[in-house]
Structure 1
Amino acid sequence: MPYPTAPDPSGPGPSAPGHSEPGPELRAELVQAALVAIGVAVSGVLLGLVWLWLAPRIPLVWIGDGIYPKDAEGEQAMGADGVFTLWALAFGAVSAALVFLFFRRGGVALVVGLAIGGVLASVIAWRLGVWLGPEAGIEAHAKAVGKGVTFDAPLKLGAKGALLAWSFAAMAVHLGLTSLFGPRDEEPAQPAG
């Protein structure tokens, strides 16, 4: 009685070594993830403009021997970080909801696209806000406006962990939406017993 033999690994077939080409489904998923990452990253421009518009300004004044905050007890610096973080969380939640509504399913590639896009969007927003914000050269700006005149300090993000807020919110919301409304796997039929 002949025994069944294993397929020849050097012959054609899916088990041939060195021939691990991704299937069309994987390619489509990777393209979708790249599009999501690019779309989310570009929307960082909007976050940067919102941050620039809503972040509290730190008033400075040049008095004699130095430049000092006009309000010594002000919390504007923390307010700028808080505004950035809260809006990044909101943008992350909205981007995840839009991705879920558009694709109607989960997938590792989409979540990775959301995460990468969220970090890129946050960096774009941060740099854009700083670039468009008040002048960065404090001493030159103080000399230009003169002694005793109040001017705004440059916009800056002190808590760099805020750059991850968009990604965390996007991944959490997408996971929640997928678990609540995503397609379900069919349960195996129970044997009659």
Structure 2
Amino acid sequence: MAWHDGTVTAPLTPPHQPGPHDPWQAPPSGSHLAPYSGAPDDPDTATELRQAAVVAVLVAVSGIALGLLWVWLAPRVPLVSDDTAVFLKNSEGEEAIGADGTFVLLAIGFGVLSAALVFWRLRRGGVLVVAGLALGAVLASLIAWRVGVWLGPSSDVVGRAREAGQGVTFDAPLELHTVWVAVLAWPFAAMGIHLLLTAAFGPRDVEPEWAYYQGPVQGPLEGPGSGASSSAGGGGAA
């Protein structure tokens, strides 16, 4: 307290010490802001490019496994020959469509698995990682297609017909009739599953918590001169 001409004035708050309800004071030590560009949890562009390249290569290499499974699980198309031509043994069979369907189903399964693994390992990956996943999925489908054709029955139908002999059944070459539908099944499945996982379990931006923020200040701000003027205008009030 201070005495001025017989009046008592209350002590003023020093200007360098904020009041208990100062809206501009620093946030409490326990609050955390959302990661910003360059933060440890936010990879830079070079790191994200490396991650995208690794994802693309690993996903593309896994196309070999899809090709092997396609050769193993795809139904065979039986052919038979006579002295003049080669014919389908069962003209109403659906083995050719079954080969395409088997490839598409396997590609969708690989797309779901690859998207889940990429999201699990690189949850904070950005657009470049997702682009690497899509590119690797397209390359993987193309590799699987060529591996299946290469490891499947020979494409030399005439030579195989001569080897088999007249009236003997042999398998037709393994091929895709709807190439682009089958090739795009993996990337579309991977992108869709990755988008769903990101929306459901992706990182969220944490809002800053201002523990002591009490809203805007109501009334005139107090300062070193306001206390003196109020005491003078109060006519000796304590």
**TM-score, normalised relative to structure 1:** 0.84
1:122 aligns to 2:134 (yes or no) = no
Say which structure is richer in helix: 1
1:27 aligns to 2:46 (yes or no) = yes
Is 2:75–2:95's contact at 8 Å kept on the other side of the alignment? yes
CA distance in 2, matches of 1:78, 1:140: 24
Look up the match of 1:46. 65
How far residue 188 of structure 1 moved from its aligned partner, in angstroms, is 6.4
Give SS of 2:44's match.
Answer: helix
Structure 2 portions without partners, runs of 5+: 1-42, 217-238
1:186 aligns to 2:213 (yes or no) = no
How far residue 187 of structure 1 moved from its aligned partner, in angstroms, is 3.6
Look up the match of 1:110. 129
1:140 aligns to 2:162 (yes or no) = no
Alignment of 1:164-175 (within 5 A): 164-175=184-195
Is 2:48–2:125's contact at 8 Å kept on the other side of the alignment? no
1:55 aligns to 2:107 (yes or no) = no
Look up the match of 1:11. none
CA distance in 2, matches of 1:167, 1:183: 23
Is 2:104–2:185's contact at 8 Å kept on the other side of the alignment? yes
2:89 to 64, 70, 74: 70
Question: What amino acid sits opposite 2:103 in the alignment?
Answer: F
Question: What amino acid sits opposite 1:34 in the alignment?
Answer: A
Structure 1 portions without partners, runs of 5+: 1-23
Moved over 2 A (4+): 186-193
Q: 1:106 to 1:28 in 2, by over 3 A?
A: closer
How far residue 65 of structure 1 moved from its aligned partner, in angstroms, is 2.2
Report sequence identity in percent. 58
CA distance in 2, matches of 1:188, 1:66: 77
Bigger-Rg structure (1/2): 2
Give SS of 1:39's match.
Answer: helix
